Amino acid sequence: MTEQSSVRGLRLVVTAADYDRAVEFYRDVLGLPERAAYSSPNGRVVILDAGRATLELSDPQHAAYIDEVEV
């Protein structure tokens, strides 16, 4: 018999052209709790708790930096 594995967590990363407005919507309007937020010369990112998933909102500058580092 084949054992099925279940999804334990999901990570979704969204690059938002209007970072502040996106954070306001997901955190303040929808009520997703903020797990962490980071700001550096390379941009900004916030990690929000969406139950069994995390939603990472990134500004375009930070997304470009991550692409350079991870790709």
Single-letter amino acid, residue 14: V
Single-letter amino acid, residue 35: R
- What's the gap between Cα 38 and its chain centre? 11
Please name every residue paired with 54 in a beta bridge, in sequence order, or none if there are none: 11, 49
pLDDT tens digit sequence for 30-58 = 999 999 999 999 999 999 999 999 999 99
User: Could you state, in order of their start, the residue ranges of all structural domains in the chain?
Assistant: 11-70
Q: Are 50 and 57 in contact (CB under 8 A)?
A: no
Question: Does 11-70 carry CATH code 3.40.1390.10?
Answer: no
- CA dist 36 and 62 (Å) reads 15
pLDDT tens digit sequence for 9-35 = 899 999 999 999 999 999 999 999 999
